[in-house]
Amino acid sequence: MMDRRQFLKAGLGLAAATMGGGLLPFGFESLAHAEAASQFVGIDLLHGTRTLNLVRPENHERLSIEYMRDGQWCEDAYNRICWFLRDIHAHEYVQMDTRTIAILDWSQSYLKQYGYTQPFEILSGFRSRRTNEKTEGAAKDSQHLYGKAVDVRIPGMSVEYLGKLYHWLAAGGVGIYDSHNFVHVDTGPRYTKAGHIREWRRS
């Protein structure tokens, strides 16, 4: 049985996004590795389908997609996810970090086990530099610029709980925004240059 640190390293340690056949789910090194992680989280990551159920409240766009089947990416699914997570103000998109996709999938699958089946609200995915400069409170070198971050709201769920969930899952930073009721999660560096965990909370 893997511990949490081992699971994060295994399940979220993705290589650069590659579509097509032959991929193990989320870049696992071996079938045994994937089976051990599946046992640990109580979700079969090797067999059946991997899905996402997302909505962009700003433009009411929705994406309900099966993107992986039996460990292989479905045709064009990655591009569709990247387009959905685009900068909707600049109409630009990039190749999203597949670890970011994995975090969304894992958290959605985890909550589904407890009866939560509503789509996650994606407030922001990729941001162009121009959009980032216009975004209040955005870091100058935000991970959104590199396709490594999403801002997520889950209707009916407190940011306190969601922040704790992403604290466990995150390979990078986690930010809680109370007044706007969303959580930022990214796959950038986990620690600052001073050695502190990249976590923050803002009203």
| Structure confidence at residue 71 as a pLDDT band (50, 70, 90) | confident
- In the chain, % of residues over pLDDT 90: 50
What's the token pair of residue 133? 């400069």
- Please give the residue that has the higher pLDDT: either 187 or 40: 187
Q: What is the reported pTM?
A: 0.80
Among 15-24, 63-72, 193-202, the minimum mean pLDDT is found in: 15-24
Instruction: Compute φ and ψ for 121, nearest 5 degrees.
Output: -90, 120
Per-residue pLDDT reduced to its tens digit, 86-128: 999 999 999 998 888 888 988 898 888 888 999 999 999 999 9
Burial of 1: CB neighbours in 10 Å, binned 0-12, 13-18, 19+? exposed
| Structure confidence at residue 168 as a pLDDT band (50, 70, 90) | confident
CATH fold for domain 4-202: Muramoyl-pentapeptide Carboxypeptidase; domain 2 (3.30.1380)
| Structure confidence at residue 175 as a pLDDT band (50, 70, 90) | very high
